[in-house]
Structure formats: structure tokens, C-alpha cells
Amino acid sequence: MAKAYVKSKEMVELVSTSSWMDKGLGSQNEMKEEERRPSAYGMLGSLTEEHDSIEEEEEEEEDGEKPKRRGPKKKKMTKARLERFRARRVKANARERTRMHGLNDALDNLRRVMPCYSKTQKLSKIETLRLARNYIWALSEVLETGQTPEGKGFVEMLCKGLSQPTSNLVAGCLQLGPQSVLMEKHEEKSPICDSAISVHNFNYQSPGLPSPPYGHMETHLLHLKPQVFKSLGESSFGSHPPDCSTPPYEGPLTPPLSISGNFSLKQDGSPDLEKSYSFMPHYPSAGLSSGHVHSTPFQAGTPRYDVPIDMSYDSYPHHGIGTQLNTIFTE
DNA sequence: TAGGCCATCTGGTCCT
DNA sequence: AGGACCAGATGGCCTA
């Protein structure tokens, strides 16, 4: 490891101009990054120093008393080779940045479908992944048992392995309570997390913590988006409904709650996912706790996303996924 | 100030 | 050869 580090430092000297090359070729976006992190681009040396380093290295190779190195002879770093190397490096850096941005975008999308999402207080990457694991696990438990875990248990499932601050956040976001209805009404007005709202609607709220976008956990459980169900497996959910094909999730940061479960409809009668992105079926909490998950009592006359849940192994390939994930993610 | 988190650069490896 | 992916190193920012 230390060896790799030393080698890396040598290469830094060799290609020390990559910083200004990046500057020169970088897009506007990249320049923004540069402004944000000036030292990351400016920590390398100058072009002159670099050439000196190359000469020194090659001299060492040739006139040392050590036995000559085996293998293909190292090509001399001519100016042309150096230029090509730099160009490759600059391109590779740009690709790597783009790749990491894509990764971060995906992570952001994941954050948005987590039980507690806040624009202002983002979960860290690792906490997002942990919470996602727990969330999938918890939901799979719901599917398997056909029952909604009682509040505390569900929160405990979600918080397993999470840091204390994140656990507090999740607990605050999924707080159950008689205020939940009030919460939904507030959310209808302002779906984005709003600490002012949370003060009124949660038993617990840490100072500065964002309030939940989904209200209490019962509504959240039923807040699964059609494409989420669809992605769980065609075999288990069939093709209901026929027009259920939804684009990749690129909706609002926090999907607006639809208290009635109604979609805004386009003129052709299809749900207008832009206006009412999410859905929330009529789901009496009594029904939730008594294991009526299989029948989704959507309001009559409204577009439905029926989710026929078959718990058999054959038709539900994801059976036990929670356990599997738990194994996979065990740290 | 230490520690956590993050973005970036980088070289290595694998694949097409 | 070149791109994708990965992991290590580094330095900046933020917070307790």
C-alpha cells in the first residue's frame, strides 16, 4: 500500500500539468468544481518541475549499480508521449468526474424515495445505502407477513445499523400519532419538508431536523410509486394496470401527497403524473393493522394501481429478500 | 481541533 | 487502444 502511494506521488510529478490541462479543457461545470475546490486543482507542480522529474527518473534507471530491471524496457518519455499521456489523463479525469456525478445522481434519486428525505439535510452516502437496505427489508417483511409492523418495530427495522443522528431523523420522520391526519393536510399544501410544519405534527422533532415528506409510516408504506411495484417483479404483479408504464422517477423532490388517492387526470383519463405524481390509496389504519394489505381499497372511479400480492415462493421471487439483503450488507 | 464526509485525481485492472 | 470501474490518496468543508 505504501508502495502504491509512493508510485502515485511519482506519477503526480510526472503529470503535474494535468491540473492546468483540466482547467483548460474543463466544461463550465468542471470550472465550478474547480472554484469550489481550488486546491484540488492547484496542488500539483509546474510544467518545468515536471520535466526535471522525468529526466531524474530516467537517469536513475540507467546509471544505477543495481541489476538491470527485467521486462520490457521503459520507453523514454518524449515530449510527444508526454503530451499524449496528459491528454489521456485529462480525458480520463473528465470521464471519472462524469461517472461519479452519475453515481451521485443515482444516490440522490435513492434519497428521494427513502422514508425521510430532505433537501436541506441530506443523508450521507453510506447512511442512504444503509437506510435503503433497511427500507427494502422492512417492506419485504410487510409483503411477506401481510401485516404492517407496529410503529416502533418498523422504525427499529429502518434504523438498524444507522448512526444515532440518522436514527433520530428516521424516528422523527416516521413518528406515529393522532396528528397524522393533520400532517397530511399540511403536506398537501407544502410537500417539501418544513420544520415549521413538523413542529405541529410530530411528537418528536430534533431541532434542525427536516420533517418527513410522507407523514407517518402508514401513509408512507402505501406511498410506493407504481413503478416501484412494477420494478419489484412483473411476475408477481402482473401487468396491472395496462397503462401503468411510468417513466423513470424524475418527479419532484418530494412527491406531493394525495390525500384522497386521486390522480390528477389528463384529458385522456390517464393519470397526470406531473401534477399528482404520487398516489395514496384510501387505507384506513385499522385495515393496515389487521393485515388487509392484499386488498387495496382505492377510491371508486379513480385510476388504480392494483397490487395483487401473492406471497407464494413461486410467484414472488423476492421472497426473503430482506434476509438476503441483510446478509449482503452485513458489516 | 479532530473526525466525518465529500469531490477529485490517479494508476491499476478488466473488458470490448 | 480506449473506456469503465475501482480503490487509494489528498485536501477542503463542516460540525461537535
Is-contact A85 A15, C-beta < 8 A?
Answer: yes
Q: How many domains does chain A have?
A: 1
Can you spell out the DSSP letters for A175-211?
--STTHHHHHHHHHH--S--HHHHHHH-S---TTPPP
- Residue A18 in domain: no
- Residue A104 in domain: yes
Distances (CA, A) of A37 to A76, A99, A302: 34, 18, 51
Distance CA A24, CA A116 (A): 41
Where do we find the cell 419485504? A140
Strand B: which of residues 94-113 in chain A lie with Cβ below 7 A? 94, 96-97, 100-101, 104
- Residue A22 in domain: no
- Residue A130 in domain: yes
- Residue A154 in domain: yes
- Residue A185 in domain: no
Distance CA A83, CA A102 (A): 29
* Structural domain that includes position A135: 79-174
Where do we find the cell 496528459? A86
- The backbone torsions φ and ψ at residue A134, rounded to the nearest 5 degrees and listed phi first, read -65, -35
The grid cell for A251 is 418527479
User: CA–C1' span, A11 to B10, in Å?
Assistant: 8
pLDDT value of position A198: 33
Residue A271: strand pairing partners: A265
The grid cell for A326 is 441483510
- Residue A33 in domain: no
Three-state secondary structure call for residue A265: strand
Q: Omega before A241 cis (within 30°)? A: yes
What residue ranges of chain A have pLDDT lower than 70? 1-77, 149-150, 175-331
Nucleotides of B under 7 A from a protein CB: 4-12
pLDDT value of position A227: 40
Three-state secondary structure call for residue A56: helix
Query: Minimal CA–CA distance to A121: which of A160, A157, A170, A155?
Result: A170
User: CA–C1' span, A79 to C1, in Å?
Assistant: 20
- Residue A47 in domain: no
pLDDT value of position A76: 65
pLDDT value of position A75: 61
pLDDT value of position A195: 32
